[in-house]
Amino acid sequence: MNLLAPTPPPYDALEWEKLPFAQKTRLVCQTWALQGYGAPLAVLAVYALKIVLFAAAWVGFCSLSPSLGGLSSIGAWWAQPLAFQKAILWAMAFESLGLGCGSGPLTGRYLPPVGGFLHFLRPGTTKRPLFETLPLLGGTRRTWLDVALYALHLGLLGRALLASELTSEHLWPIALLVPVLGLADRTLFLAARAEHYWTVTLCFAFAPEWMAGAKCVQLALWFWAGVSKLNRHFPAVVCVMLSNSPVTRFEWLRKRLYRAYPDDLRPSSLATLLSHGGTALELGVPLVLAASGGGPTLTLVGLVMMCALHGFILSSVPMAVPLEWNVVVLYGGFFLFGAHADVSFLSVQPWWLAAALVGLLVVVPLLGNLKPGWISFLCAMRYYAGNWAYGVWLFKGDSHRKLERLTKAAPWVHDQLKHFYDRRTAVGLVGRVLAFRAMHLHGRALQRLVPKLVTRVEDFEWVDGELVAGLALGWNFGDGHLHDESFLAALQAQCGFEAGEVRCLFVEAQPLFGSTLSYRLADATTGVFERGELEVRALEALQPWPT
């Protein structure tokens, strides 16, 4: 077996490419159901090795502190507060560099396998400021000031990680700079996983007894992730994840996830049951640990539940590959609720930090669930719910070649793949991104919206917005707000597409307690030309492909 070769689809990819849209979608969805993305085994091994190297680097940073030690004595120091602080700061640096979430082949990155610092340290690259007209920090092209601020961010994190002991002088500059980076480029704020790592760093910097605040953050991560799955979307997520999981390669099991493979790929009763169980588990972990009061029995139950939850996620190797983040959450669970069970999460001090945490951990996620168009799904902590904003970009003919006018760190994805595979293999691999999108419940909207967007979809190159964001912004992780109509306008200003050359559809997430998905249809030259809403219940009756 060639460990670098992806699993071939049961059809000729070059012939598949010429088929009508409905037939193409059906074939690739049926293929995903049994094969998933079909990533080579070597790719999965690289992701596993990356986790090992991530943990090894943390041990290395900890070994620089006399109060801690190296790998041989890790059992004696892993639960020390300094070890946890360095874990959070290292994770923020790792993600800010682009080495964690959104890296590698499972997110459409082949050569180079990362974006991050290759993009963020380069003046002239495209960025997404919070306010485009903001003096100094606004605009849609990265300036030398943007580059300097990002380099300073990395330098401050490096200084803290290399320090033998951490003081407030190491921490407060990091805590104050991250929001500035977010004003200049929201991509950087999200890439740093600021909703987690920056919020905990605030506690490090401004709370003498910071463990209570760190516990609040960890509980909020689990709780809101569970709340976000109280919808009709999550059963389809289970289907997509388990069909792609390297540990569920049994054909009989994958077929049972669907009502009647290959003709009915809606979630089966088994997939629905598994989704409800996963939701209960994710809500149960924070509730049990919060109610434990440090008691050994409930704490043990909560930690076992936590291991089951994150073990499932890690073993599934989700497409956005938030693997190191899950490892940090696991470590945080054992450190905060196991080794330091006596600290109450209700004892946050000073009062203003407690108020700030209420805003960041309660108000922002609640608002993000009720008004998902206002707040990133990351800041709202709506993880893995299958209910995200997304976009699809259609490039007429070879108009995507105009993207070469951008200053960017990565070429067109097919140009990356030609260094590894022939065209047939590359088309077969990238074509599965269509299945990934269509098989989620919100992807059923495509068959209603694509006919409104273009007359003949076969005349266009179909590209998921995630891939466009990956090459133009240097980072992508499932946030459709990064590649919306404002992003389209920024690219249009640099690329100069003709009327009708680029058409985009943007679908927003379903609000908590809401019943619809809102959408916008846009052209690169004229902007949005249609807005509307689709009933989610109606989408449940549809197959992933047009019928």
Q: Can you give the C-alpha Rg of the chain in angstroms?
A: 23
Please report the pLDDT score of residue 338 as a whole number: 97
- Please tell me whether the peptide bond between 113 and the residue prior to it is cis, using omega within 30 degrees of 0: no
Please report the pLDDT score of residue 2 as a whole number: 61
The answer to whether the beta carbons of residues 262 and 11 sit under 8 Å apart is: no
The answer to whether the beta carbons of residues 239 and 267 sit under 8 Å apart is: yes
Residues pairing with 396 in the sheet: 460
Structure token pair of residue 533: 């809403």
List CB contacts of 336: < 8 A, sequence separation 6 or more: 84, 211, 214, 215, 218, 343
State the Cα–Cα distance between residues 231 and 267, nearest whole angstrom.
14
* Average pLDDT, 10 consecutive residues per value, the chain (547 residues): 80 96 97 94 93 98 96 97 98 98 93 96 98 96 98 98 97 98 98 98 96 98 97 96 94 97 97 97 98 95 98 93 97 98 96 98 98 97 94 97 96 94 94 96 96 96 96 95 97 97 98 97 98 97 94
Residue of 161, 160, 137, 163 whose CA lies nearest to 150: 137
pTM for the predicted model, two decimal places? 0.96
Task: Quickly tell me which residue has 């206002």 as its tokens.
Answer: 374
Please report the pLDDT score of residue 1 as a whole number: 42
Please report the pLDDT score of residue 357 as a whole number: 98
Task: Quickly tell me which residue has 């460990």 as its tokens.
Answer: 3
State the Cα–Cα distance between residues 221 and 361, nearest whole angstrom.
8
177-197: b (≥16 Cβ within 10 Å) or e: bbeebbbbbbbbbbbbbbbbb
Give the DSSP H or E segment for 53.
helix 41-63
Structure token pair of residue 415: 């140009």
State the Cα–Cα distance between residues 97 and 95, nearest whole angstrom.
5
Residue of 137, 136, 117 whose CA lies nearest to 186: 137
Residue 26 identity: R
Count, residues in the chain: 547
**Tens digit of each residue's pLDDT (9 = 90 or more) over 80-89:** 999 999 999 9
Residues pairing with 528 in the sheet: 522
Tell me how far the alpha carbon of residue 536 is from its chain's centroid: 23
389-412: b (≥16 Cβ within 10 Å) or e: bbbbbbbbeebbebbeebebbbbb
Please report the pLDDT score of residue 4 as a whole number: 78
State the Cα–Cα distance between residues 243 and 253, nearest whole angstrom.
9
Let me know how many helices (H) and strands (E) the chain has, helices first: 25, 7
- Please tell me whether the peptide bond between 350 and the residue prior to it is cis, using omega within 30 degrees of 0: yes
The answer to whether the beta carbons of residues 411 and 503 sit under 8 Å apart is: no
**Tens digit of each residue's pLDDT (9 = 90 or more) over 465-486:** 999 999 999 999 999 999 999 9
